[in-house]
Structure 1
């Protein structure tokens, strides 16, 4: 382009290198200031000593003039229709991002990406302001627009930092609370307004602008964090309470949620809470699983520091925090990541790999270094900046397979001719290895519904490197079983026992999640056949069986007190049920269940060790009874479940040891709303371990070995 064309492009805010024209320049030995002030009546440079240098109009709204030698800092005084204002010149400032950062971004290895990209309150050239940086490698021009320039970006064109694809501009006098977007010109010449992919705050939906933020939060959870670093989660008790913040108790903020959630979870004895996605998302009906702002906690409930406060308070109450994370896909909303610089950038360009048909979303290009770096850094961001103790990674199966939910001809095999998404596998290995290396004691949890091998195997052995995997097979089989009339369950015994064949192949979490109480499935309670009393008894018996089964536990909100209506994100769970004694008692049972579980390390210390588990039988097997032992050096616990609808009296059962076995939990206890059918607190086994046990209908007993047989 010739000089005239460049000046015209600068004047229109569409030149990729505006700093080469605007700002302070040395023309030979003569310093010159050039400023873009379209339609101004007069423009002057005001020096630090108060001296003024009038500028003359040069071309296309660009003014220029010679300033004294040694000039470094100055302000621009502009007059429009008799009104004069002063402002520091954005184009006199050096880049606010360094060469090493740019190199790491290009390599996809910048593990603190949020510290250099996005909008940051900072100090440059003697003044305060905000530095803006964005990755848009195929853009022809990028401008910052916002409330500060009336959403007209011509005066705030960004400079391209070369092959890195990063654009940068420091704007003086801006600060926290500034709303902004990037206005991006594609190679075709059209402009699009885009939210900042690295924004750490956003407007409350349905508004979509990014918001400049900063943090001064002082954490008070050092005891928790220090202890976490020394723990191995697979060898700790883990009972997770999953919740959707917006519908747990509607109207609460992050801060007020802390006051209500913490005593409630504490009373129920859960070790962790798991928040459904809290990254910013435009549509509440997606439950947070279609993310538009991966680095921005949703502003629906407060500021990022408000979320830090909530997590801090949970840690101080000895409650861990897991958050849903969604790296598998993102929505097509025009303001967000899709076609970010006019072309497929974050998403794979081939629709066979870059679009998810079922969800109408884009799929990340896991083979692109910068995109992989964006996601790896995002996982670290939530762990480092918000102290979350783990990430539950959504829809891993959709990431692993190129033919996921696709017909023949709708997918392309990998380089070896297979169906595995090799780039996604590499990404998952990288994010898990990096997260565990930097933050020992966390838990990376895969929602993975297939038999993909080695989900929780170390990456050093070719595994994906997750800490845990949701046991979707157990969930589907067991819920199908309890939905059968107890009269016919004996014909479906394998639904409840098949999980023992693979229970030790991975580190599992047993999930009764939000997905199981929507879309016509009913709730955990209403899946149970029979009268209301039988449904309550069946729920207690099933949960006691679940808590004793190898693996960690997860229960969705409302199921702890017997929610009877399906969950909806648009309304609160049915808290009124807790006014009914039967449902109060179910919640009380959950509290005792969790406390007893935490006290008995046999139920959690060796969850993935097959030698610590034994199925128990008797001379006359009953297909409605499932009995097994959990074993540690500290003691043995036996779980015995009767899934029939009748009492089984004096069932002959072969226990691991002779002696006394004490009832430490009976789901049919009267305090929980049951009939109190049991064994008067203990059973005795002969020297061969033979005992005769009475089992309540639809109930589960936990027996702890006590050594010496009680006297008759």
Structure 2
């Protein structure tokens, strides 16, 4: 083998179209190796380097009986620790600056009572301002002024009971329930960690999901930001309860064999000077890029400088912190497209490989993502990392030394956009089965994806959920079982089909936003001035799905059956699906994935008796799931107790009803009894 061949990264070996970008892909590998070596020269290991959260900020050493406060603020002129412990005296507790730009003060334990409110006064080029320490692990909001302060907090010992919990099964095939703590209750208020743990976790478990993805955990000053304008990266949001309450939630999830992943927002940060990191040392060149490069105009937020070692350490420490202190099982990285490119993906069509490798790529950001993924899997090989990327960056979910970025999964962001486009702009008879197939299966080989029909994005005010696009205002008047309505009948049928089609075909994992499984009827709108600060649309109406006299439970029950069926048969772990039948006339798609055969008839009216199609193996088949079952709000036109036999052409004949999905499984041959085997042996 030639030297050139030896340098050919695995990513290129697997995809010849990437050959022109071999140098760029090798650069990824080399940049990661170089950055990791530099880190290891500073701190022995990547994990050790990411332990800064144990040294920075306000720390209480109970053995030494001393508080130590450290803050990286290289361009600051003065720092003073202030709080109710010293009556907010801005002169009494100055910090001393070290040669590495880290300021420090040490105080006896009795000087600061645990629970005291604290801030740091920073004198810099932008004046003298009271700020919250960067590594603060708890903040508190003033109920009158709504301003935030840090809290002198030493985590008490927590009795974890999840030592034996493993997320290996979830990593193999994550079936994700995306949730938001605050809107997880039915009351018009902000829900709490404990309410979510006690009331919502059991619901998720009953539905069959194995992973929970939580939004908005890190502190954010504006509730309506959905947690995407983070101010305090190491502080669980105080509006939902205490850090111990969040630990209670995670521990209880693990008891139920549910993995917990949280949204990790390292793509940007809140601009606020009062709460966040912006200009913490008085300059615009500390955590973020200076000038225009440091601001995301579309998001009105700040952009990290991933090339700085101190910024890398801050963010990597944040990765380690949530995994070690709160036992989370991984992350969904927000805004990865924005992070990877200097243009942030704004108004960019990724229609050529040049766009991935040559057009305004942020190489420091790519290296940071590699380091973060290496750290995650170093800390816990069973941890799950998911990238929210709409660009389709090659290698995003490939091993780093193959030329990838090391994620386990990417979100299939094009799928929900596709469904909304169809529901908004196409009549039922215009649905194109070949486009349906293409959108679901168009993903990179050897890179795993999370498919979803809708997430929180599709439910935010100004848009509609899939259920609302299908049924709109009719949902307010005709979801009672004693009310017949063609719009509702169509909506219920297609809602089920869209979900199982997406789950069965669209990826190696699946995601649903809480409440959408039963067609939650309203959009999401957080309290704001424009709605008179109402919580009416920032909650989940679980009672709708629980009511036997309403049709919502049909959708919930189907979702549960769908998840159970595909989970039991390991469908998402099977290789890609293979087409068995594509019928344009009847808008019917039949395919096999793993050991299951899925038959979809999207036609609005054509129901075909004696519908025949070829199957890969002769024998007897049974229908194990029908979306047309009366239990799921259908019309019971298919007898699921039947046994289907292949004919001489190895074809099955079924009743292919319109707007229906049928799932078939080949029946196993019964083994002969021991007595029969003995009789056959004697003969």
| CA radius of gyration, larger in | 1
**Secondary structure at 1:305 match in 2:** helix
Distance 1:355 1:106, change over 3 A: farther
**Secondary structure at 2:392 match in 1:** coil
Counterpart of 2:550 in structure 1 is 581
Tell me the distance in 2 between the aligned counterparts of 1:600 and 1:503: 24
**Secondary structure at 1:650 match in 2:** strand
Counterpart of 1:624 in structure 2 is 587
Structure 2 length-normalised TM = 0.81
Counterpart of 2:614 in structure 1 is 654
Distance 1:196 1:208, change over 3 A: same
Tell me the distance in 1 between the aligned counterparts of 2:578 and 2:265: 37
Counterpart of 1:149 in structure 2 is 86
Counterpart of 1:597 in structure 2 is 566
Deviation at 1:648, TM superposition (A): 3.2
Q: Is the 8 A contact 1:483 1:528 kept in 2?
A: no
1:183-194 residue pairs with structure 2 within 5 A?
Answer: 183-187=121-125, 190-194=127-131
**Secondary structure at 2:625 match in 1:** strand
Tell me the distance in 1 between the aligned counterparts of 2:445 and 2:663: 21
Tell me the distance in 2 between the aligned counterparts of 1:461 and 1:106: 21
Deviation at 1:296, TM superposition (A): 0.1
1:279-678 residue pairs with structure 2 within 5 A?
Answer: 279-335=218-274, 336-404=276-344, 418-483=359-424, 487-491=428-432, 493-502=434-443, 504-511=445-452, 512-528=454-470, 531-549=487-505, 550-569=507-526, 570=535, 571-578=538-545, 579=547, 580-601=549-570, 603-606=571-574, 609-610=575-576, 613-617=577-581, 622=585, 624-631=587-594, 636-646=595-605, 647-678=607-638
Distance 1:425 1:624, change over 3 A: same
Counterpart of 2:118 in structure 1 is 180
Distance 1:453 1:101, change over 3 A: closer
Q: Is the 8 A contact 1:108 1:369 kept in 2?
A: no
Tell me the distance in 1 between the aligned counterparts of 2:655 and 2:225: 47
Structure (1 or 2) with the greater strand fraction: 1
Stretch of structure 1 that moved more, 572-581 or 271-280? 572-581
Tell me the distance in 2 between the aligned counterparts of 1:257 and 1:501: 36
Deviation at 1:349, TM superposition (A): 3.2
Q: Is the 8 A contact 1:627 1:640 kept in 2?
A: yes
Structure 2 unaligned blocks of 5 or more:
1-38, 349-353, 472-485, 527-534, 671-683
Greater relative contact order structure (CA < 8 Å, 6+ sep): 2
Q: Is the 8 A contact 1:108 1:371 kept in 2?
A: no
Deviation at 1:172, TM superposition (A): 3.6
Tell me the distance in 2 between the aligned counterparts of 1:696 and 1:240: 30
1:214-225 residue pairs with structure 2 within 5 A?
Answer: 214-215=154-155, 216-224=157-165
Q: Is the 8 A contact 2:433 2:584 kept in 1?
A: no
Residues 538-565 of structure 1: per-residue CA shift (max 9 Å, x gap): 1112112122123211111121111121
**Secondary structure at 2:71 match in 1:** strand
Deviation at 1:617, TM superposition (A): 1.4
Stretch of structure 1 that moved more, 550-559 or 322-331? 550-559
Tell me the distance in 2 between the aligned counterparts of 1:465 and 1:373: 19
Deviation at 1:131, TM superposition (A): 1.6
Q: Is the 8 A contact 2:269 2:302 kept in 1?
A: yes
Deviation at 1:334, TM superposition (A): 1.2
Tell me the distance in 2 between the aligned counterparts of 1:490 and 1:419: 37
Residues 253-299 of structure 1: per-residue CA shift (max 9 Å, x gap): 21232110122112211111111121000000101110000000001
Tell me the distance in 2 between the aligned counterparts of 1:658 and 1:486: 38
Counterpart of 2:102 in structure 1 is 165
Q: Is the 8 A contact 2:370 2:405 kept in 1?
A: yes
Tell me the distance in 1 between the aligned counterparts of 2:409 and 2:206: 26
Deviation at 1:398, TM superposition (A): 0.4
